[in-house]
Structure 1
Amino acid sequence: MSNKRFIKNLDLTLVGVTGVILLFSLVMISSASTDYGWWMRLGLDVDKLQEANIFQRLLWMKKEYAVKQFVWIMLGIAAAAAVLYIHYEDWRRYTRHLYVVNVIMLGAVLILGHTAMGAQRWIEIGPFVYQPSEFAKIIIIITMADFLAKKEGQLGNIKELVPTFIFVGVPLLLILLQPDLGTSLVFIAILFGMLFVASSKPFLVVGLFGAGLAGVVGLIWSHLRFDTWIPLHEYQLKRLIIFLDPWSDIQGAGYHVIQSQIAIGSSGFWGKGLLRGTQSFLEFLPIRHTDFIFSVLAEETGFLGAALLLILFGIFLYRGVRIANEAKDMFGTLMATGIVSMITFQILVNVGMAVAIMPVTGIPLPLFSYGGSSMITTMIAIGILLNINMRRQKSIF
């Protein structure tokens, strides 16, 4: 394909919005990873820190995380380009192999995995550490899209849906055993999003989701009231429900949520300015460059910056829905649907936990939070969307 035709068939809006979000993320990660202790080690006193302008702060800034994130972005772009090169229909020949690799990869984490922050989710290969459950999201989207496309028109009752639940349940269980509750919830969002499109009776899927949600709420209520068994550790349960009343455990599980609320609530319309967020800079807000990056954004750029990011995400998701709607086959539609479901859920939960309307589950903000595995996975997902869009008409290739 000529370069001119390639550009014509590329969704430039999706590419442009992605680029703006990535640049925005680098700025905020740079700010979020700057800390008071680092500045003091440079020999800067408190008065000088307070008086420093934005240019001085940029010169003194700790740039380690921003540089690493830039490297991840470059690798993600390369991965997206590689995905774009191969016709997405060709992947259907290898979905069984991908599914087996996925299960083996997730199983290996339980045996060879690196433990950090109380969970065994990472695998070390030399100097690199990656999180297989992140890549498992993309694999389950591709393999389930093929699985459901082959059953088109045969998903009209619960009995016909059971094989799909088993199909997703195997890798989902392996992820829960790590334990990684956040990624498990993303899997469920992907499952029901794709089923809603694939099923001949979408309202049946909505009913099953509602029944499942009611069952989980009932199970948690029963545990809290009667101490019945639930398949969660106590710390996981506390993180799930602490957003309902974070002040009940100010120094414990509620600390993150409270500090996030203070950061966002004190920002105003314009924010406090880049590199001037007190909750972030003075390290009151934990894990601010990953889980709570939105809180840093809101504190430093205010309502204006937070609204801008959400608008960008809205445009991104609109393009994803449009690509799903215009795909030339059910396989492409289902893959695009799975990607949109994944990214939508992650945005809702990450932003929601920052403003204390969602549980704290450790789900990153796509394209914005610091992290190599998450960044590369999301960029691969974007490559898939662009691939489906480019080949939406048979006459294109």
Structure 2
Amino acid sequence: MTTIENDADVIVVGAGPGGSTTAYHLARHGVRVLLLEKTEFPREKVCGDGLTPRAVKQLVKMGIDTSPEAGWLRNKGLRVIGGGIRLELDWPELASFPNYGLVRTRLDFDDLLAKRATEAGAELRTGVNVTGPVLDNSGRSIGVTAEIGPDKAPVTFHAPLVVAADGVSGRLPLALGLNKREDRPIGVAVRRYYRSPAKHDDNYLESWLELRSKENPDKLLPGYGWIFGMGDGRVNVGLGALNSSAAFGKTNYRRLLTDWLANTPAEWGMTDETNADGPILGAALPMGFNRVPHYTRGVLLVGDSGGMVNPFNGEGIAYAMESGELAAEVAVQALARPAGAERERALAGYPAELKVRYGGYYRLGNIFVKMIGNPQVMRIATKHGMPHPTLMRFVLKLLANLTDPRGGDAMDRVINAMTKVAPAV
């Protein structure tokens, strides 16, 4: 039998937040990691650029300086606008999570995480476009095939374990036959940067539950908007829509964004095209475990590749990083066991733990998505919920998934109980 020389203990495909976090935690445990990224850093990525306390916790775990002096803009919480009401909700005071969020462009953010992974000992190779898995006679992955450079020279890398962190496209899991589940929610988001001295240093993330155009202010536009100050003279402005909405797939979202912004105050600078900093870009949001199983035949799925975006609020970075840390922990334990049944038993713990952590919560999120897809339900909820700050603080904790698992206040106990009794997705 021919012995294959491995290039690493683990190959991680994709150096976004999920992939770089996985590589960092693997390398920190002494595992030989090969991190493959198809683009070059720094690189643009479509995102709201806002990070909740869940993501901040992961950055702190990686030893990243999150101070303003290190280039981060901190925020105190979420400002919600809807039903004629403007409500500022501070992030909750918890033992489990910090009480601040952050904003930073993905251009900076992804580059920073990839560098942190290499500092821990991971080998990063950019300009490597992974095209599929290398399978042994049993159909188990033992590496990946890829193309390098402008001439797309073919190359093969071998490792006993592979982590697919290749984003929403999920090229690697697709090659293994893991298709998206149509019964799980998916969203679409578009965003654009604007120069806005009036809004750029806002210390709240701003969420708009109702969008109206200037031409017809009485008519609600489909979707939900955001305005996040970047702290550098710019804002990240965008909107998202869910496939539970009747308008999904039938709407020009770029036009929708400019229609909504035409109704914002002129001094914000978002009604003038000359203040735009770059084009309007869009991306899909794979939610609620829309690709499973999260482990199969030597490949673990992390982040967007496994559809781990939170259905309640469209947050993906925190869950990409959390799943990356968990995948690393499981892989370290699995590699310490002999190949075969013992190792597979350890690897099976990855999807099982994901289901425990997020399964019930995502089930609730899937129900929530279907409900708010009805404009009438959303209008009633906004009208009757927004005037009650205590109720809205509960909603913030639920939507952002910010509770203390043990102890905590009455709101925490209710939310934790709801996620436990909900059947896992």
Structure with greater helix share of residues: 1
TM above 0.5: no
Structure with greater strand share of residues: 2
Higher relative contact order (CA 8 A, sep 6+): 1
TM range (shorter): under 0.3
TM-score normalised according to structure 1 size: 0.25
TM-score normalised according to structure 2 size: 0.24
